[in-house]
Structure 1
Amino acid sequence: MSIAPDETRTEQAIKTPAIATPARYDVQITHRRREPLDYRFTNRSQTWLVDLDALPQLPRFARGLCRFDGRDHLSGARRTIRANLDDWLADAGQLRPARVLMLAQPRVLGYVFNPLTVFYCYDRQGRAMYVVAEVANTYGGRQCYLLHPDEAGRAQVDKDFYVSPFNPIDGGYEMLVPQPGPRLTVTVTLRRPGALPFTAAMTGARAPSAPLWSALTRPLLSRATMFQIKRHGITLYIRGLRPTTRTKETGNVTHTR
């Protein structure tokens, strides 16, 4: 579900500068929970910006060690990520973009977990068309949201997918997804009437160089992300927070296991 774009803005799409890929960003990730208790944590990580039509690859004999794999995004079909995204966009009634940049971690040593993957979509003139935000939870589910950000990169969308077991499906997301450049900013804020109970932010700087093999220097990065999420969940439980009763999701949910 998405907020419809402004018609004037659609005709005057934002012209974006050429963005070189692949690029690695060294980032700081911050989670801030305000209700029903105040809790915050920050950790450092890395993420990659890659062109879906020109994905970086290791030599053939080493590709099993590190790669971007179609199984890890959208429908999880054993095809390219671009083919899976094109199918999702067609189902959503959207024109096929000429170029798509994906912000995500690669699968390293057979494992990957991307809590949030961002697809920046452009037309043939290099203008931003829309953004697809793919959210994943620790239960193996994935959900995509179609966003039409304004010139500052802000967009709003209804929430219809379980992420944290401590938050029910209600309210909406306010996302900040400006075009990536030397600096990267991605922010997701959960909104409810009169309240902002949760915010997650990822900010960082582009690394000077980004050969894909450098992901192998931190092979446990995705596993560390999953470990941190579960560790902080246990901390919240100890402090008295309890999981909500789950009901059926209402969006386009893909379960990967």
Structure 2
Amino acid sequence: MTHTRAMYRTDITHRRTSPVAHQFRYRSLSWFIDIDDVTPITRWLRPFVSFRAQDHLTPPTHGLDTLRGRVDAELERHGITPHAGKVTALLNARALGYVFDPLTLYWCHRDDGQLYAVLAEVHNTYGGRHCYAVVPDEQARARVDKEFYVSPFNVVGGHYSMRVPEPADALAIDITWYPPSGQPFHAAVRGTRVPVTNRAVVAAQLRAPLTPIVVSARIRIQGIALWRKGLRIIPRSATRVRRHS
């Protein structure tokens, strides 16, 4: 398990094969942190890199409103007893007051370091958020029913097959959605770990500037491309949407 805060220079791929074929790939930047250590980096870089508990999950009904408190509350909502061990997260940083994180992953460990749960928090471009809780097997694989409206071209139904190993020197996340009918949709994240230094942060910003803003824009651009290909839009009102905000 990696203990030091790190960045990952990532390549993200989405592949759809039906009812139309469509694939795109883009570079991004993800942060890997201990959720009990969200202290900002060098002051002059804070406008480009900061973390707030309020950007994630749902606030607890009691205790301090910290990212740890939100993770523990989410585990309890899923019937999982929180442990006091380390919780690491893979997420996007806030940049210029804005954050958009399509997928945030939290690896929850017992005191002895053993992984006992993974939270997968999904945000859509409509301001909604939803969190899945899974217990991966020894190959870091898990399955969960889809319960949240993400893409305007996908129904709420079917299930996700996930492979979510905690990142080390390399990052390799795979999520495949199997709809109730039709072919699966696959998303993959591949990345290389970079230690956090001022120089590395600046270089990462030059490689993938203003990551959350750019990611949000790219998702909308790809949506337009799919619409132009004739893919039918499924209204949110026609789905079983669960919104956590």
TM, length-normalised to structure 2:
0.88
Cα shift readout 1:11-45 (whole Å, capped 9, x = no counterpart): xxxxxxx4122011111100001111010000111
2:67 maps to 1:81: yes
- Structure 1 unaligned blocks of 5 or more: 1-17
Give the aligned residue type for 1:224: V
Match of 1:234 among 224, 228, 237: 224
Match of 2:41 among 58, 72, 82: 58
Other-structure match for 1:138: 125
**Do 1:31 and 1:198's aligned partners in 2 also have CA atoms closer than 8 Å?**
yes
- 1:84 counterpart SS class: helix
Equivalents in 1 of 2:179, 2:171: separation in Å? 26
2:232 maps to 1:249: no
Other-structure match for 1:91: 77
Other-structure match for 2:135: 148
* Shift, 1:72, TM fit: 0.8
* Shift, 1:114, TM fit: 0.6
- Structure 2 unaligned blocks of 5 or more: none
* Shift, 1:60, TM fit: 6.1
Taking the TM superposition and a 5 Å limit, the aligned residue runs for 1:97-112 are 97=83, 98-112=85-99
Taking the TM superposition and a 5 Å limit, the aligned residue runs for 1:24-43 are 24-43=7-26
Report the RMSD for the aligned CA atoms in angstroms.
2.1
Cα shift readout 1:104-156 (whole Å, capped 9, x = no counterpart): 01111101111000001110010111100001100000100001111111100
**Do 1:137 and 1:163's aligned partners in 2 also have CA atoms closer than 8 Å?**
yes
Equivalents in 2 of 1:137, 1:75: separation in Å? 15
TM, length-normalised to structure 1:
0.84
2:171 maps to 1:188: no
Cα shift readout 1:154-195 (whole Å, capped 9, x = no counterpart): 100000100000001110000110121111111110113574
Q: Structure 1's 65 and 25: CA in aligned 2 closer, same or farther, altered over 3 A?
A: closer
Structure 1 segments (4+ residues) deviating >6 Å: none
- 2:231 counterpart SS class: coil
2:214 maps to 1:224: yes
**Do 2:48 and 2:210's aligned partners in 1 also have CA atoms closer than 8 Å?**
no
Matched length: 236
Equivalents in 2 of 1:24, 1:61: separation in Å? 18
Give the aligned residue type for 2:3: A
Other-structure match for 1:7: none
